[in-house]
A and B are shown apart, each in its own frame.
Chain A
């Protein structure tokens, strides 16, 4: 029997909203100019990028010249860490949380190998950073604190306002990776004392290939990419105009519906969480029970392995993801789950279901209908019960 496919991996990437695609389309053909060109074609493209920059800056309560377009959240995070480190060599200490995305972790580790000093902040069992730990970790030579807004895996939302305040008081730059939250949760870079922020279009129904780094005026940063001097000389590269226009359109749509959409998603999420925990024995919720992304449900099931689980779901047309060691390129359990204090075997049977704009209640019901049977089947195959 073939049923409609169910996509529950919105945290990995989202389909572009048709309205976004429509907004983008003229910029592939008619308005194709290079923003750096002097002629009318270039000017038209530049006007579109300027307008987009303004829309996105407004969404963050930032000013347009503080928004730098990049190609991906990975680039933005690399740039934030390395660019700040290179521009401020008098201070050599960097603090990040232990549940950051791999691109932050590996950039920081790379800097450490170049002579910077690194502190990894612990998290509690729900994956949350304690602001008091940030305060404790800051030293006179601390340059930067980077703590993600919400975790991509388990969805826990960090108290970044409190962390930002501490950093501001102690005169330390504060960067937050908001790839999972921009367009989904309200963000005011001033109220939250954020100096640098990463966001990416494809997580909010825009296209792949457009992301941004917000850099507060006055923050000293070196470029990662040198070249033709785009983006005020801080990020050379011909601008990806269609993707940037789409990014702005996607932002507009998200902002206009944020409240209602979050209420809707939270309802579906809570139904899913309650349903799974009720129907499946030895199932656990990962991440914070309350302070979590409206669209994130993250479970672990004892005694089974996540990749097999994902495959069985996929066979039924349900797309989800896992942080099992077996499915990771390094065959290592998720650093996020380990940081939450789980043992490797507990991290093995993890399942992330992330909801989005087109998730329906019927889809959630379908998952609740098939998931218990799948877990049971895998437990029958497993030596552990």
Chain B
């Protein structure tokens, strides 16, 4: 059911894991099937002095399509300016993967949303002006996140405790 490209991305997972002290974290959940993706970004400057995504990592609890698109989004976004990163669309991802089964399209949205949320997080933490589109996207995502956080309450709580412990160490 998956294209060879999708399976290839799934098999060669790159950029998974966590970034210590990230500049932005995007936490999104998929209310359709209940999957979760967390995305971390670290920013830097390119030669022209523009702000670019210097490092990017993901953690995904989800299906083959979710993992494949997570990896792909991080590869696409790495080294890009913020504006370029925000322009990555789910359609671009799907076509790059050689298509996704219709029932799996919602998984590709997860990755795009997570990236947007990470950038939003960076903007808001640093009190930067937030583009209108991004603000709107954030509001939509927050709503579904509430549902997911409810669902995974225990796991997320355990996770945050671990994060805390990690910081103290």
Q: In the complex, identify which listed stretch (B42-50, B61-69, B124-132, B136-144) lies at the interface while the others stay far away.
A: B61-69
Q: CB distance A311 to B155 under 8 Å?
A: no
Contact partner of A326 (CB less than 8 A), chosen from B7, B62, B152, B156, is: B62
Q: Of residues 175 to 223 in A, which have CB atoms within 8 Å of B's CB atoms? A: none
Q: How far is the CA of A179 from the CA of B156 in the complex (A)?
A: 40
Instruction: Give the nearest-CB partner of A310 in chain B.
Output: B64
Q: How far is the CA of A333 from the CA of B36 in the complex (A)?
A: 15
* Residues A385 and B35 in contact in the complex (CB < 8 Å), given A311-B64, A315-B11, A324-B63: no
Contact partner of B62 (CB less than 8 A), chosen from A305, A343, A380, is: A305
Does A1 make an interface contact (CB < 8 A)? no
Residues of B within 8 A of A325 (CB): 33-34
Does A19 make an interface contact (CB < 8 A)? no
Does A140 make an interface contact (CB < 8 A)? no
Q: CB distance A348 to B11 under 8 Å?
A: no
Does A344 make an interface contact (CB < 8 A)? yes
Q: CB distance A383 to B67 under 8 Å?
A: no
Q: How far is the CA of A381 from the CA of B63 in the complex (A)?
A: 11
Instruction: Give the nearest-CB partner of A302 in chain B.
Output: B155
Contact partner of B10 (CB less than 8 A), chosen from A308, A333, A344, A385, is: A308
Does A304 make an interface contact (CB < 8 A)? yes
The residue in A305, A315, A324, A329 that gathers the most chain B C-beta atoms within 10 A of its C-beta is A305
Q: How far is the CA of A331 from the CA of B59 in the complex (A)?
A: 21
Q: How far is the CA of A385 from the CA of B158 in the complex (A)?
A: 9
Residues of B within 8 A of A303 (CB): 61, 155
Query: Interface extent on A, as a size class?
Result: 20 to 34
Residues of A within 8 A of B11 (CB): 315
Contact partner of A383 (CB less than 8 A), chosen from B32, B34, B38, B151, is: B38
Q: How far is the CA of A344 from the CA of B147 in the complex (A)?
A: 13
Q: CB distance B10 to A311 under 8 Å?
A: yes
Residues of B within 8 A of A311 (CB): 7, 10, 64
Does A153 make an interface contact (CB < 8 A)? no
Q: Of residues 58 to 84 in B, which have CB atoms within 8 Å of A's CB atoms? A: 58-64, 66-67
Contact with A along B20-36 (1 / 0, CB 8 A): 00000000000011111
Instruction: Give the nearest-CB partner of B2 in chain A.
Output: A311
Does B91 make an interface contact (CB < 8 A)? no
Residues of B within 8 A of A331 (CB): 32-33, 103
Binding site for B on A (CB under 8 A): 303-305, 307-308, 311, 315, 324-327, 329, 331, 333, 343-345, 348, 380-385
